[in-house]
Amino acid sequence: MKNSVNRELPADLMEKLNYQGFESTEIGHPEIQRVAPKVHVSTGDDKVVDSVADVVKATVKDGMTISFHHHFRNGDFVFNQVMRAIIDAGIKNLTLAPSSLTGVMNDMVIEAIKAGTITNITSSGMRGSLGDFVSHGGLANPVIFRSHGNRARAIEHGDIKIDVAFLGVPNADRLGNANGMAGKAVFGSLGYALMDAQYANQVVLLTDNLVAYPNTPASIKQTQVDYVVKVDQVGDPDKIGSGATRFTKDPKELKIAQTVNDVIVNSPYFKNGFSFQTGSGGAALAVTRYLRQAMLDNQIKASFALGGITKPTTDLLEEGLVDKVMDVQDFDKGAAASMHANPNQQEIDASWYADPDNKGAMVDQLDVAILSALEIDTHFNVNVMSGSDGVIRGAIGGHQDAATAKLTIISAPLVRGRLATIVPEVTTVVTPGDSIDVVVTEYGIAINPRRQDLVKALSNVPGVPVYTIEELQQLAEKKVGQPQPLEFTDRTVALIEYRDGTIIDSIKAVKD
Amino acid sequence: MKNSVNRELPADLMEKLNYQGFESTEIGHPEIQRVAPKVHVSTGDDKVVDSVADVVKATVKDGMTISFHHHFRNGDFVFNQVMRAIIDAGIKNLTLAPSSLTGVMNDMVIEAIKAGTITNITSSGMRGSLGDFVSHGGLANPVIFRSHGNRARAIEHGDIKIDVAFLGVPNADRLGNANGMAGKAVFGSLGYALMDAQYANQVVLLTDNLVAYPNTPASIKQTQVDYVVKVDQVGDPDKIGSGATRFTKDPKELKIAQTVNDVIVNSPYFKNGFSFQTGSGGAALAVTRYLRQAMLDNQIKASFALGGITKPTTDLLEEGLVDKVMDVQDFDKGAAASMHANPNQQEIDASWYADPDNKGAMVDQLDVAILSALEIDTHFNVNVMSGSDGVIRGAIGGHQDAATAKLTIISAPLVRGRLATIVPEVTTVVTPGDSIDVVVTEYGIAINPRRQDLVKALSNVPGVPVYTIEELQQLAEKKVGQPQPLEFTDRTVALIEYRDGTIIDSIKAVKD
């Protein structure tokens, strides 16, 4: 069977897991019965537990679904402590359903798979040794990849039923009131973890900072929490930030950022009250810098900035160039600190951010989204999941979600080293071309022919040559040649859901 | 059948409505499957509706359960507008399930009952003409009275399934992000309404103040809201406050307040980090004033103040005598304004406040609660619902909930006019004597014999004579004589739930 982006899907798995193939980016108006957790009633006086091993014994049983958040990113000290205790307790057959997996968790996940502790995984992404391990067939069952908004949808539908959520926090009181804003290992918004706190049957907080009761502001509430575990350290503050806190000096990245800005400024969306999501990384920071200048020059203010937030974005808030920052995660210390200080930086959960089965999510109101890509094809389909060698090394993140913006810009170099970014067909379709409007490279831009309004608006912008996507692909091919076709086995190692829960693509095991 | 407070319950209704009789104030550790709403999926772009009549037509059908909040109290302009439209649309057989009913709603409710529009009611209370109407048999089905915490429990269990919630707010954006803190008719915390916003299948906001998107802080979120109706005025700011914003000058009330303070100060709970709920009304304000002085004199600070909040309580927050104010509703403008300005005044929903089937509610952590009474009997049972003439004229409010405090004080005059407050048997048991510790009158106090520790602690406080409850009852009887026994018909007009959903008492129609 093929879906509407022409991907052959594994019929056996589709049937076994009761999946439909991707059809359309339109969500429509279904009526959805949401689900709710079981509550173990207590007065809350006995929540504090000293040992991770004890709380694991009290909560985790064979066959359960357990979850974590990834707000600590590579500074996470929580995941490995909990998984160590779970493996040591001899628990088997778990489904691991974190908001995402970061590199620091890889070795432990592989050990847990080998021990039979983890037999299923759903995640936003995976990279490094774990991606390699899965792509070589290390996990018997296919990984299910979901965007942040889709994870929220799946939790609210009951597609993901979390039995126990283990959530690290930089502060909590003895009943579990907690936030991400104060303590040693602050990360700001708890956006992804708020889903787990609301929907998991059992919620375990881990903290290195037990504060006086009642703790406020309470992003996670005592009514959601079963146990509070005091640990030595929940995270390494220096590794929580995404790293890129300085503007890039790479001339190619600067050129792309400048062009992204030119596209925005010359689009019909650049007007008072517009909204945007820029994302993280050095290039995104550069876009924010150019955009700031353009806003000053044109006396234009934004109504909100969305998504993963960086300090340059909260600086715009301080400066009055942005009215509100809607914050599902923070990528650096500056952004995290700002949430504490500024009431106009609103913490939002992943459902509010991007659940498509909602009464309106933030992404539905988004004017401009700037997104990255590992590959883009001539149908504008985007791959952010597998490398050009076919190995899993990415994450959907909010990619499919933010791509619903009125103006979705893919910012990517035409080639990376000896590899083309713009290709005849992407290795894995993650975000369908229907939701992509403009591709920006260092050589020029390509506009999705669906958007003749943008073709018109952007055809005469000085310094911004417009190509067809085929022309850009051919230019790339001319520079780096045609690669050998990838060879895969027949075995499916991962399914990629579109944000509505249909299957947009699958990933096969690579040939050794 | 009789329950554990010796009340004869109507067997036919108990069976028909599948109720158990009240047994114990202990909640235990049940496992509860919570419920969740249906969601009508949309991008949220078409939520704004101009006419109340249109939104009623789009949402309300015969037989549904509809809800309102009572945060505007007697300044409410929302309830009557919506009910007018519902009656005029000819809709029948509705269950009315507001957080409570205030006097300004009475005429409209009676009209709706007479029209067959409303056939069932559950509320925290009712007063005036509506209480009279129901007590004289005006509603065919019995009213179900529930405390604020029990309403939260009932909603989270699915005992109350709200089809449409109509929630007035002093500000909202076009997608429904709203709070109670800014605008003309501010009331501060949206605590009770947050339950409706989270659990109703359809949520309609009414506002006179449509603000720029996205509106923050969002106590109610766009993900919860289906429609936003712009109306001329949601409330009369001058009637939202409870009225009593000055300290009483009544010597009897001052004497009682002073004695309440003496009881608190000489109890084992008056120490650094203690917590309290004082409630509203002139006497409560006086208690807060005395308590403030005692805290200053003894260099004692409270960890939190809870419940319905007044300006004297937020003044303690400003002064540093209270660390946190946990705020489910505000009784005056000062308290409402303070929530906007002070991050240590945390808005809490009714579940967090007091749902007994929870992972710990605020009331479970409460040291001292000061509550009022219409009647107290020699078993320490308290009536806050029916008058000495047997007519419904009260509200449970948070009475049963806050009575779970470690030290629950009933503050009441021994007699009111020609009526005894302390009686052999209360007309209606609302809060069981098991959860009452001390009764304070202008003549002295009575301590529940269950609390020998308090008998010991409070036996030698200068100026605080200790009586048995029987002695206080006899003293009252001596002053005002023995009333004629009340005469009721056999017809049950109301059932009083205890906070766990069992029936603690019923109310019969009065004889004309």
Residues of B in contact with A44 (CB under 8 A): 358-361, 364-365
How much is the ipTM here? 0.96
Q: For the segment A464-482, what is each residue's pLDDT rounded down to a tens digit?
A: 999 999 999 999 999 999 9
For the cut 80, the answer to whether the pLDDT of residue B246 exceeds it is: no
Which of B240, B261, B289 corresponds to the end of one domain? B240
- Regarding whether B443 and B369 lie in a shared domain, the answer is yes
Distance from CA of B175 to the nearest CA of A (A): 7
pLDDT in tens, B323-349: 999 999 998 888 988 988 888 999 999
pLDDT, tens only, A255-277: 999 999 999 999 999 999 999 99
Pair B171, B50 in one domain: yes
- Closest chain B C-alpha to A184 CA, distance in angstroms: 20
**Residue B130 falls within a domain, yes or no?**
no
Whether residue B33 is contained in a domain is answered as no
Counting other chains too, the contacts that B461-469 makes at CB distance below 8 Å and 24 or more residues apart are B461/B262, B461/B263, B461/B266, B463/B259, B463/B262, B464/B259, B464/B262, B464/B263, B464/B266, B467/B443, B469/B376, B469/B378, B469/B380, B469/B422, B469/B439
CATH code for the domain of B269: 3.40.1080.10
Residue B469 near residue B439 (C-beta atoms within 8 A):
yes
In a domain, A97, yes or no: no
- Could you report the per-residue pLDDT of B458-502, keeping only the tens digit for each? 999 999 999 999 999 999 999 999 999 999 999 999 999 999 999
Same domain, A202 and A264: no
d(CA B102, CA B99): 10
Residue B244 scores a pLDDT above 60: no
Q: Hey, which residues does B505 pair with through a beta bridge?
A: B496
One domain for residues A207 and A319 = no
A362 vs B44: CB contact, 8 Å cut-off? no
- Scanning every residue of chain A, which has its alpha carbon at the shortest distance from the alpha carbon of B204? A359
Looking at residue B394, its pLDDT comes to: 96
Q: Are residues A235 and A279 in the same domain?
A: no
Report if residue A92 sits inside a domain: no
Q: Domain range holding B428?
A: 251-496
In this structure, the answer to whether residues A215 and A270 fall within a common structural domain is no
Q: Does residue A145 lie within any of the structural domains?
A: no
Contact status, residue A361 vs residue B235, Cβ threshold 8 Å:
no
Which of the pair, A285 or B401, is modelled with greater confidence?
B401
* Judgement on whether residues A393 and A346 belong to the same structural domain of the protein: yes
Nearest CA in chain B to A363: B43
- Is residue B245 very low, low, confident or very high in pLDDT (cuts 50, 70, 90)? low
Closest to A41 (Cβ–Cβ): which among B27, B38, B226?
A: B27
Reduced to 3 states (helix: H, G, I; strand: E, B; else coil), residue B438 is: strand
- Within a domain: residue B36? no
Say yes or no: A436 and A337 in one domain. Answer: yes
Q: Does residue B94 lie within any of the structural domains?
A: no
How confident is the model over B186-191, as a mean pLDDT? 96
In terms of domains, do B215 and B279 share one?
A: no
CA distances from B168 to A112, A141, B50, B234, B395 (A): 52, 50, 15, 6, 21
Share of chain A above pLDDT 70, in %: 99
Across A357-376, average pLDDT: 97
Q: Do residue A337 and residue A358 come from a single domain?
A: yes
Look at strands B202-207 and B227-230 and give their pairing.
parallel
Average pLDDT over residues A139-157: 98
The amino acid that residue B86 corresponds to is I
Nearest CA in chain A to B355: A223
Q: Which of B240, B263, B285 is the last residue of a domain?
A: B240
Residues B224 and B256 in one domain: no
Q: Among residues A205, A240, A275, which one ends one of the domains?
A: A240
- Number of structural domains found in chain B: 2
pLDDT of residue A245 exceeding 70: no
pLDDT in tens, B134-174: 999 999 999 999 999 999 999 999 999 999 999 999 999 99
Q: Which of A223, A275, A325 to mutate to test the interface with B (most CBs of B within 10 A)?
A: A223
Q: Are both A236 and A255 inside the same structural domain?
A: no
Min Cα distance A226 → chain B (Å) is 6
Question: Model-level pTM greater than 0.90?
Answer: yes
